Structure 1
Amino acid sequence: MKKYLALVICLFPLCISAQNLAVAKYKGGGDWYGNPTSLPNLIAFCNANINTQMNSTPETVEIGSTDIFQYPLVHMTGHGNVFFSPEDAENLQNYLISGGFLHIDDNYGIRPYITKELKKVFPDLELVEIPKTHEIFNIAYKFPEGLPKIHEHDGKRPQAFGIFYENRLVLLFTYESDLGDGWEDPEVHNDPQDVREKALKMGANIVKYAFEH
């Protein structure tokens, strides 16, 4: 098993040569499939504005599958329970330390579940708040105040948390913002155009950061 994982890690840069993203399918009963129009809209925005050439429809990849190594960026969302088996946690850790990037967007209610499961992935690392001066808030579009507020949720300020491995941001958890809702078709949530634009621009920053790091 260790030899196989070493081979996967060795080949990882070749596996993710294509610029595409995927949505994470996870165990536990949470709605990993939420916001069905969000990623296609984000992909279209990025292809039109930051010179990406992503496939218009995102793939679905299971956390425990080696298929995850094909994608430089995996997006995860939901409201409810998340569960990582030991195999899932090991696979996700190998993906992240080998150059992959995971964006977890709280669609409202995922935080207590995902923070517990992430301890299985990186037992010795903590989610830390990312300062608004970080490159991810400036790489394509400027967000001098950090993560934008898209949906109300509990009325708290939006926060971006991250896990850093060897000084590289490998995981982003966006909380009290709900970028994914802002990426959805306009009629889904009836968000004003300026709010949707902020969400899409922040999403483009995430995509560009993940692809370039």
Structure 2
Amino acid sequence: MKFIVTLYFTLFNLFIFSQDIAILKYKGGGDWYSNPTALPNLVKYCNNNIDTSINENIQTVEVGSTDIFQFPFLHMTGHGNVFFSEDDAENLRNYLISGGFLHIDDNYGMEPYITKELKKVFPNSELVEIPKDHDIFKAAYEFSNGLPKIHEHDGKAPQAFGIFVENRLVLLFTFESDLGDGWEDQEVHNDPEDVREKALKMGANIIKYAFEN
């Protein structure tokens, strides 16, 4: 017990003083490396607009590695299969309950795989839809209608789901929005500037919320 308390205290201090973020690498064959320009662009936007000081040299960490505990914010994306071993799931669960935050952005096709694997992480918790009046939609910029739609895939409305631990949102799953595509360099998807701006502003909300809660 003493070791666990000491670990959590150490992690808390790391999270308080660090603004570094990382990309989460996972097993299963899904393309965790999708949208390579997305996170660097979001970091620059945040540093320029919401007074963050995030390291622009974004690292990649494996879900089963203790390296994830160096970062208060992890970002995960992809199109396909995701697999967490039991050790991966335990490591991620410990990270999230000790103060970390994970944003999973479905880049189209990820949903059935990630929802199954998240049951390994939190067997007794379900992804629940986040209401439009939640603080994450107004942390830096107002999104009164909730999650913005960035890319069309199946014609479905964008949805934000979360997992809460003791009333703290520890995991955000953005579905049918494709925020990461909107964060990418303009020439990658040729999105209009106003669409990219919406994506970046929502991304800034997520970052700000994660750092302050």
TM-score normalised according to structure 2 size: 0.97
Q: Could you say what secondary structure the match of 1:150 adopts?
A: coil
Map of 1:162 onto structure 2: 162
Q: How high is the sequence identity, in percent, across the aligned residues?
A: 73
Map of 2:43 onto structure 1: 43
Map of 1:200 onto structure 2: 200
Distance 2:58 2:4 in 1: 25
Once the two structures are superposed, the pairs formed by residues 15-30 of structure 1 within 5 Å of their partners are 15-16=14-15, 17-30=17-30
Deviation at 1:101, TM superposition (A): 0.3
Distance 2:63 2:2 in 1: 20
TM-score normalised according to structure 1 size: 0.97
Unaligned runs of 5+ in 2: none
Map of 2:63 onto structure 1: 63
Q: Which runs of 4+ in 1 moved over 3 A?
A: 2-8
Deviation at 1:40, TM superposition (A): 0.3
Per-residue displacement from partner, 1:88-143 (whole Å, max 9, x unpaired)? 00000000000100000000000000000000000000000000000000010000
Number of aligned residue pairs: give it.
Answer: 212
Distance 1:8 1:67 in 2: 14
Once the two structures are superposed, the pairs formed by residues 93-172 of structure 1 within 5 Å of their partners are 93-172=93-172
Distance 1:57 1:138 in 2: 27
8 Å CA contact 1:77, 1:105 repeated in 2: yes
> What value does the CA root-mean-square deviation take over the aligned residues?
1.2
Deviation at 1:13, TM superposition (A): 1.3
Deviation at 1:18, TM superposition (A): 1.2
Map of 1:211 onto structure 2: 211
Distance 2:101 2:145 in 1: 23
